[in-house]
């Protein structure tokens, strides 16, 4: 999966960090917008390759025009940024596309820090090419729109036209971190392919011009999804005594397709028992520590049972929420250690509260990974797996609960639960279909929407 090496993977991450911070603004005429986007993309190398009489390219020229209108801290930081971008423009080891990626990343970061500057200059023209908003446009959406024009199947065309705004929705929320955007994109594609499996191969081969295929991008996005959901592997489902990871791996050991000998089964069951006793049932370990310990146990097994490697990596785990394979777990942990800013996967703490216990209900609104919560993440997963009008109707209320209630630092936890419970009750009203849909949502190992509503006093 990572044959391209660390540098190319890191560059891909940098590319999507830039392009997913702001989604494109679509007018009423989608074909016109797509046409303009393609024209900009086709001439994008002019931004760095064409120089004026002073030796500056179009981006640096536009930045210089902005600098004349800034003052104070904004002016100081902008001038330093301009020097950095100018240096990047003359870096002979970079291609034109790479220069644009890195320069755009720096400008976008500045705009996020100084939103008033962003608002004032987002639509400033960069030479005759376009504006900064166009520079930030999401290449993934452009690639899919370009592909749509080649599709003859009307049903596929309609489905893809609906997928594009779904992607835009995922990437347009600037309150989410890059990791969270990637996780949401992974889930969006997974839900789409679950409904339209026959189109998957063709869509995965779509080229994002200058940067590789959608398949290559999703290899990375799926890593973020798995890291964000490590905690679910150690949850115990109703009616079970062991966590999902242990249950799923035990089932795979007994799967006839692997044709394990008696001695091979014994080795694997010992390995799984170590996970059960030493790791999964150890309440003192965080989720990150548990995953690290699983990887260590795997490395020890490989010292004496390397012949089991390929079959073991194929074991389906986290089946109930679409995690992937045991090999995916190993790869995702390695990816987190090598590429995430923290030096390792950022996950939730390991907790096993009693089902629906109101004394621990605030655990579902505790923030992790920057601004993610069990309430938001598990609801979002449920909506994507159970797509339809009910999901579409509840999603705006989910966002309101997450961003206006949970993320409001001035509101105490008890009041947040009350406000969320009131929102659920008000939304459902007397509609039994809404009640059936929402009350089925499970929030981690804690409990359900219905139990949360009860804890909130409604």
**Residue 136, pLDDT score:** 58
CA atoms in the 13 A half-sphere facing the CB of 341: 7
In this structure, are 32 and 89 located in the same domain? yes
pLDDT above 80: residue 329: yes
The answer to whether residue 373 sits within a structural domain is: yes
For the segment 192-199, the average pLDDT, to the nearest whole number, is 94
Last residue of a domain, one of 135, 160, 185: 135
Q: Which of 207-221, 314-328, 422-436 has the lowest mean pLDDT?
A: 207-221
In this structure, are 209 and 251 located in the same domain? no
pLDDT band at 369 (very low <50, low <70, confident <90, very high): low
* Distance from chain centroid for Cα 16: 11
pLDDT band at 343 (very low <50, low <70, confident <90, very high): very low
In this structure, are 124 and 187 located in the same domain? no
- The full DSSP string for 408-431 is -TTS-HHHHHHHHHHHHHHHHTT-
The answer to whether residue 447 sits within a structural domain is: yes
- Find out whether 317 and 232 touch, Cβ atoms under 8 Å: no
The answer to whether residue 7 sits within a structural domain is: no
pLDDT band at 252 (very low <50, low <70, confident <90, very high): very high
Residue 147's alpha-carbon distances to 120, 151, 286, 317, 383, in angstroms, are 34, 7, 44, 33, 27
Residue 241 is given by DSSP the state S
pLDDT band at 71 (very low <50, low <70, confident <90, very high): confident
For the segment 287-299, the average pLDDT, to the nearest whole number, is 92
Crossing angle for the helix pair 58-67 and 72-89, nearest 10 degrees? 170
In this structure, are 268 and 315 located in the same domain? yes
pLDDT above 50: residue 29: no
Q: How many domains are there within the chain?
A: 4
pLDDT band at 354 (very low <50, low <70, confident <90, very high): very low
Q: Which of 113-122, 132-141, 392-401, 412-421 has the lowest mean pLDDT?
A: 132-141
Query: In sequence order, which residues have a C-beta less than 8 Å from that of residue 365 and are 6 or more positions away?
Result: 373, 374, 375, 406, 413, 416, 417, 420
CA atoms in the 13 A half-sphere facing the CB of 23: 17
- The full DSSP string for 94-149 is S-HHHHHHHHHHHHHHHHHH-HHHHHHHTT-EETTTEEHHHHT--HHHHHHHHHHT
**Residue 309, pLDDT score:** 94
Residue 51 tokens, joined: 């120089």
In this structure, are 285 and 190 located in the same domain? no
The answer to whether residue 120 sits within a structural domain is: yes
Q: Which of 10-19, 155-164, 216-225, 405-414 has the lowest mean pLDDT?
A: 10-19
**Residue 211, pLDDT score:** 60
Residue with tokens 């194929």: 314
In this structure, are 305 and 374 located in the same domain? no
In this structure, are 333 and 372 located in the same domain? no
In this structure, are 264 and 321 located in the same domain? yes
Distance CA 321, CA 402 (A): 21
Higher pLDDT, 252 or 30: 252
In this structure, are 128 and 145 located in the same domain? no
The answer to whether residue 3 sits within a structural domain is: no
- Find out whether 289 and 187 touch, Cβ atoms under 8 Å: no
**Residue 100, pLDDT score:** 76
Q: What mean pLDDT, rounded, does the chain reach?
A: 80
For the segment 45-66, the average pLDDT, to the nearest whole number, is 74
Q: Which of 80-89, 279-288, 334-343, 417-426 has the lowest mean pLDDT?
A: 334-343
pLDDT above 90: residue 178: no
Last residue of a domain, one of 206, 225, 244: 225
**Residue 248, pLDDT score:** 97
The answer to whether residue 425 sits within a structural domain is: yes
pLDDT above 80: residue 27: no
In this structure, are 82 and 163 located in the same domain? no
pLDDT above 90: residue 449: yes
pLDDT band at 345 (very low <50, low <70, confident <90, very high): very low
The answer to whether residue 4 sits within a structural domain is: no
Residue 343 is given by DSSP the state S
CA atoms in the 13 A half-sphere facing the CB of 36: 16
In this structure, are 246 and 300 located in the same domain? yes
For the segment 295-321, the average pLDDT, to the nearest whole number, is 94
Per residue in 435-446, pLDDT (tens digit) is: 889 999 999 888
The answer to whether residue 127 sits within a structural domain is: yes
In this structure, are 254 and 171 located in the same domain? no
CA atoms in the 13 A half-sphere facing the CB of 221: 24
Last residue of a domain, one of 190, 225, 260: 225
Domain residue limits at 325: 230-339
């Amino acid at each position: 999966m990572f044959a391209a090496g660390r540098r190319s993977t890191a560059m891909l991450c940098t590319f999507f960090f830039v392009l997913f911070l702001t989604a494109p603004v679509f007018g009423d005429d989608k074909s016109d917008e797509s046409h303009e986007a393609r024209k900009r993309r086709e001439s994008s190398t002019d931004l760095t390759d064409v120089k004026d009489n002073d030796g500056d390219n179009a981006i640096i020229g536009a930045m210089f025009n902005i600098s004349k209108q800034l003052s104070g801290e904004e002016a100081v930081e902008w001038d330093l940024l301009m020097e950095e971008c100018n240096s990047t423009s003359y870096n002979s080891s970079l291609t034109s596309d790479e220069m644009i990626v890195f320069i755009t990343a720096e400008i976008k970061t500045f705009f996020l820090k100084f939103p008033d500057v962003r608002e004032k200059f987002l639509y400033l023209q960069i030479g005759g090419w376009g504006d900064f908003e166009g520079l930030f446009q999401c290449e993934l959406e452009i690639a899919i729109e370009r592909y749509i024009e080649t599709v003859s199947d009307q049903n596929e065309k309609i489905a893809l036209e609906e997928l594009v705004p779904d992607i835009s929705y995922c990437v347009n929320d600037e309150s989410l971190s890059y990791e969270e955007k990637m996780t949401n994109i992974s889930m969006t594609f997974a839900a789409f392919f679950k409904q339209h499996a026959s189109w998957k191969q063709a869509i995965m081969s779509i080229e994002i011009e200058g940067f590789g295929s959608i398949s290559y991008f999703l290899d990375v996005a799926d890593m973020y999804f798995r890291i964000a959901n490590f905690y679910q592997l150690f949850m115990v489902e109703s009616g079970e005594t062991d966590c999902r990871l242990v249950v799923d791996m035990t089932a795979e050991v007994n799967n006839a397709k692997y044709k394990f000998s008696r001695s091979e089964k014994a080795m694997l069951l010992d390995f799984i028992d170590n996970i059960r006793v030493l790791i999964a049932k150890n309440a003192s370990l965080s989720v990150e520590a548990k995953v690290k310990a699983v990887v260590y146990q795997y490395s020890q097994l490989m010292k004496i049972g390397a012949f089991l490697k390929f079959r073991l990596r194929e074991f389906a785990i986290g089946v109930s929420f679409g995690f992937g394979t045991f090999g995916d777990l190993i790869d995702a942990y390695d990816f987190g250690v090598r590429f995430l800013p923290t030096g390792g996967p950022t996950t939730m703490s390991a907790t096993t509260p009693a089902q629906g216990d109101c004394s621990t209900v605030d655990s579902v609104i505790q923030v992790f990974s920057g601004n993610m919560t069990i309430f938001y993440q598990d609801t979002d997963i449920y909506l994507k797996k159970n797509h339809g009008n009910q999901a579409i109707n509840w999603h705006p209320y989910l966002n309101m609960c997450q961003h206006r209630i949970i993320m409001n630092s001035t509101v105490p936890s008890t009041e947040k639960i009350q406000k969320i419970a009131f929102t659920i009750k008000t939304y459902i009203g007397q509609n039994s279909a809404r009640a059936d849909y929402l009350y089925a949502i499970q929030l981690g190992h804690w409990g359900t929407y219905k139990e949360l509503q009860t804890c909130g006093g409604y």
